[in-house]
Amino acid sequence: MLTRTTLLGNIWRYGLLSLGALVMMLPFMYMISTSFKSHAFVLELPPRLIPTAPTLENYQRALTTNHFGLYFFNSTVVAVSATFVTVVLSAMLAYAFARWEFPGRNALFYAMLGTMMVPALTLIIPQFVLAKQLHLLNSRWGLVVVYSAGTAFNMFLLRGFFEEIPQELLDSALIDGAGPFTTFWRVALPLARPALAATAIFSFLGAWDEFTWALTAINDEKLYTLPIALRLFQQQHGTEWGLVFAASAIAVLPTIIVFVLFQRHFIKGVMSGALKG
C-alpha cells in the first residue's frame, strides 16, 4: 500500500513529466492547428488551438504546389533505400564484431566508434570530393551512399544485442549444416528484430530529415528532397503560414507512421543494445 510520501512523490513526478511533455507538444500542436486555418485566421489574437473554421485548403494547395509530390517521392526513395542498406550493413558488422574472433577486432571496433565524435559538417568537403570522383553527385544514389555510411551507432546498438544470443543456438545451427551466413540470416537476425526495428527508426529519421548533404550534392531541382523543398517552400510562401505548416505536417507524417509501426520493438531494442554494448 502506498504511503502518503510515496503518493505525493508520484504525483509530483508524473505532474512534472506531463508538464514537460505538454511544453514539447505545444509547438507541434500549434503547427497542426494552424495548418487547418485559412489565411485570415492564422494570426488571430488570442491564438486558438482549435480552428474557428477548419479547412483542408492548405493541404490541397501544398500537395499540388511547387512539385511537392515529386519531392516527397524523392525523399521516400532515398530514405527507404538508405534505411535498408544501413540496417543490412550495420547488422553484418555488428554480428562480426560480436561473434567472430579476428586480430585487431577490439581496436577496429573502437576506431569505428571514434568516428561518432567527428562533427558531420567537417566531412562535407571530403565527402563531396569522393562523391565527385565516383560520379555520385546530383543523384539519389549519392545521397543513399552517404546516408548509409554512418553506421557506427547502429553497429554499436546491434552488437550488444547479438552478444546476448546464446552460443548454443548458433552451435546447433552449425551442427545442422548451416554455414556462417545462413546462421546469421536465419538464426541471429530473427532474434534481433527489436534492435533491427530501433536501427530502422534511427536510420529512417536521419535520412528523411537530412538537409546539409542534400543541399550540397543536389543541383537538379527534380531531385530535391523534402528538407530542401520545405526551405524553398518557406521562402516562396513565407507569409502564408497555414500553407507552410500544412506542408510541414505532411513531411512529418511518414516519420510518425514508421515509429508507430516499429514502436513495439523500439524500447526493447534500444535498452538491450545499450546495456549490453
Range 65-78 average pLDDT: 88
pLDDT in tens, 129-172: 988 998 888 988 989 999 988 788 888 888 888 888 888 888 88
* Of 156, 173, 179, nearest in space to 95 by CA: 156
Domain-located, residue 78: yes
Q: Is residue 14 part of a domain?
A: no
Quick: pLDDT tens for 171-192: 888 888 878 888 888 888 888 8
Beta-carbon count within 10 A of 19 CB: 10
Sequence-ordered alpha helix ranges (H) in the chain: 4-35, 57-64, 68-99, 105-114, 124-133, 140-149, 152-164, 167-175, 180-183, 189-191, 193-209, 212-217, 226-236, 241-276
Q: Model confidence over 14-35: pLDDT tens digits?
A: 888 889 888 888 888 888 888 8
The residue-averaged pLDDT of 205-226 equals 89
Q: Which of 44-48, 109-113, 149-153, 213-217 has the lowest mean pLDDT?
A: 44-48
Residue 31 one-letter amino acid = M
Q: Quick check: 241 and 34 in contact, CB under 8 A? A: yes
Count of domains observed in the chain:
1
Residue 232, domain member (yes or no): yes
**What separation in angstroms does the CA of 66 have from each of 142, 162, 208, 226, 240?**
24, 46, 19, 11, 14
4 in a structural domain: no
User: Which three cell numbers, joined as nine digits, stand for 275?
Assistant: 546495456
Q: Tell me the average pLDDT of the chain.
A: 84
224, part of any domain = yes
- For the four alpha carbons of 193, 157, 127 and 111, in that order, the dihedral sign comes to negative
Asked if residues 143 and 217 have their Cβ atoms less than 8 Å apart, the reply is yes
User: The domain that contains 91 carries what CATH number?
Assistant: 1.10.3720.10
The predicted structure's pLDDT at residue 61: 85
Residue 186 lies inside a defined structural domain of this protein: yes
Provide the pLDDT for residue 270: 53
Q: Is residue 156 part of a domain?
A: yes
Are the C-beta atoms of 78 and 143 separated by less than 8 Å? yes
Domain extent, residue 123, equals: 67-276
Residue 202: inside a domain, yes or no? yes
